[in-house]
Structures are given as structure tokens and as C-alpha cells.
Amino acid sequence: MPVPTRIPSMSLKKLQVSMAVSEEANNVAIIFGVTGLVGREIAKSLISSGSSWKVYGIARNPEIQPIITMKSCNPYHFISCDLLNPLETHKKLSLLHDVTHVFWVTWASQFPLDSQETCEHNKTMMSNALNTIITVAKNLKHVSLQTGTKHYISLQPPFEQHQKLHYYHEESPRITSKIPNFYYALEDFLMEKLNGKVTWSVHRPGLLLGNSTRTFYNFMGSLCVYGTFCKHFKIPFIFGGTRKCWEEPYIDGSDSRLVAEQHIWAATKQATDCCRKGEAFNAINGSSFTWKEIWPILGKKFGAYVPEEEEEMVCEGFWYCREMGDEKKKKVWEEIVEKHGLVRTKMEDLANWGFLDALFRFPMKLLVSRDKVDGFGFVKRCNTLNCILYWIDCMRDQKLIPRL
């Protein structure tokens, strides 16, 4: 089977030639946000699938790490596109008349999460893209949207209503608040735009675990840079957060491979039979965890010093932004990259220290049920600790962080 040629940013002329001469695929996917955690995994799964797929990957910035591997057997084309630009979006997407499946796993992060600007930007992006795709893609079968479990809560106070242990399910009511949630805006847009004409689904992961240099809330990148610094500076591998977040399950892990597989399952399997008016599914690993259980194992995985006493391992006064986010650390990261012959990245390509500070001081439990997706027949589960260890190894193999 031939290995497809990667086209970093396909010109319109090349795209026309490719579409004219390529063998007709049974399914043609377009992945918006292909350089992100889940977008990469959807693309990798489809282009290495035994089924006949053709894949278009859309992102504003090009990939640092190529998605195509020696296991690839289906054609893949990367298209750089600013979805906030309606003219550019229409020009580049209007040729893609063979699309059958849309995977929307992107979002605009220029403004604060709970802001009207974020709602408007994300709805504009989706509108620009889907207005074109729906018009030209006459065989469109399914649109798969990714949001998140933040669907069930507001990150603005008061938090008292979320303090009791509660497992949110897909039919849990929306937050009645004046605080905007762009997840609602995107779901409402699909409901209005598709209106029973095309099946669609919504997938709500928790804490995403995966490997990308183009992800704003990048937990694995942040953890790996921190672990690398701890070993480099010979400092303790400290959990900087609250005692409650340390001791109790607070959030569900979601391996990006599992989430990608769930997207594809919903778009192609029997689940589509009941998705005519849209169906939402939580997308989580399925096993709860605490940082207390896994933190020492992670520290040892990085070869860092792990204090024996728990009191020395947990520090509510330790803030990652303050301890890791200075200019000196950025220069040290460049030195580490150079010394170990790593892929050239800036510290901020991988690490978001503010995200770690917020995650480990989360003011409420955000735990959800996966009973619905289990009942529909998607039963894949993952162990969160094993997933984190897997992605650490992947980042080493891809030379994003040093080996021990």
C-alpha cells in the first residue's frame, strides 16, 4: 500500500489535481483542528485504517510534527486556513465537494473562556466553515462536534451549587447564568443549521491526555516540561494545589485516542441511526483517579526527586506560574532542547502553567457518567495513569522531551 505524500499547505491548483486523479474513497473526512490533541488522533486513525478514507486536515498553523507515518495507507492533505476569515475559508473549502464526515475539534482561544467574544469567535468559525461545506458537499453524512465537560458548570462564582458529589449526565440542564458558554452556541448552531438533514453528535471529554504542540490547555506538555525541569534542577517533584484536589477525585481523564475513537464510532456506526437531531456523549476514560495515587509514580517516571513524606510533596503555596513561568526558565528550556537534540520548541509551545495552577486548585468536582455511551455500545475504557505514562513515552519517542 502506498504511503501518501504530506502536503504542508496545499495550493488550490494542487488540490484540484489531487481530487481529479485520486481514487474515489468511500468516506472523506475533514478535520477542523487537526493539529490538536484529538484532531491528530482522528487523522492518524483514519489514514491508517483498513477502510477506505480520504482525509483533509484543517488548521491555521502548520504542524510541527508530521501526522503521516509509515503505517499510513489512505491519502491525507493538510490545508492551512484561518477560519475567522470568511473569504479565505470559502476559497479553500469550496473545492472539497467530496466530504462525507466533518470532525469539529477546534476552538478560538484568543479571549477568556467565559466571554462573549469567545462565543462570537467560535460561532463565526463554525459558520464560515459549515456554510461552505454544507453547500458543496452533497454527500455529507455526519458532523461530529467536540466540546467538553465544562458544559455542565460555570467557572465563575458562586460555586456552592457544585460542591456536592454529583455525576453529570448528558441530559443535565444547562447552567442558567449570564456567563456565556460557547459550547451552547455551537450546539445551537448545529441544531439550527442541520435541522434533521444530517446526523450529528457532540462529544464532551474531561481532562484531555495526548501529545500536541498546538494545544492551549496542554496538560501532558505542561506536566512533561515540569518533570524535565525538576530533574534538571534537582528539585522536588511537588504537587502545587489544594489538599482536596490531591486527595479526592475531582476530574475525569480522557485519553485522546479514546475520544478520537468515540468520534469515529458515532460518525460511522449504528449510533448514527439515532443522531438525526443530534446526540451528546460524555467521552471519558471510565476509571476515577486521585493525584495522590499517581503523583509519586509520575515523578519517578521523570527521574525526579519524589519526597517520601506526603507533607513535603503537597504545597498549596507552590504556584507553577510563579515558579516555572519566568524568562530564565524559557532560556533553560532552549538549552535543554539543544543539549538533547530535541525537536525545536519554545517552552510555551508545550507548557501552560496557568492551566496547571487552575487544574490543581479546581473549586468543584467535575465528574461525569459514561452510562449513555456504554448503553449505545461504545465500551472502550482506559486507565488514566497508564495513559499518562504512555504519553510521556510518546513525547520522548518524538523527541519533545529528553529521555532519562
Cell numbers 451528546 label which residue? 280
Strand bridging mode 207-209 / 76-80: unpaired
CA-based nearest residue to 79, from 128, 168, 6? 6
Give CA separation, 247 vs 204, 226, 234, 325, in Å.
25, 21, 26, 26
Q: Is the dihedral of CA 326, 332, 338, 342 positive or negative?
A: negative
Identify the H or E element spanning 52: none
C-alpha cell belonging to residue 303: 527521574
For residue 26, count other CB atoms closer than 10 A to its CB: 9
Distance CA 313, CA 304 (A): 12
DSSP codes of every residue in 327-382: HHHHHHHHHHHHHHT-----HHHH--HHHHHHHTT-SS-BEE--HHHHHHT----B
- Residues serving a catalytic function are 150, 183
Tell me the C-alpha distance between 162 and 261, whole Å. Answer: 30
If phi over 0 gives left and psi between -120 and 50 gives alpha, with beta otherwise, what is residue 341? left
The helix (run of H) or strand (run of E) holding residue 21 is helix 12-21
The b/e string for 272-297 (b: 16+ C-beta within 10 A; e otherwise) is beebeebbbbbbbbbebbebbebbbe
Do 43 and 66 touch, CB atoms closer than 8 A? no
**Strand duo 101-104 + 167-168: pairing:** unpaired
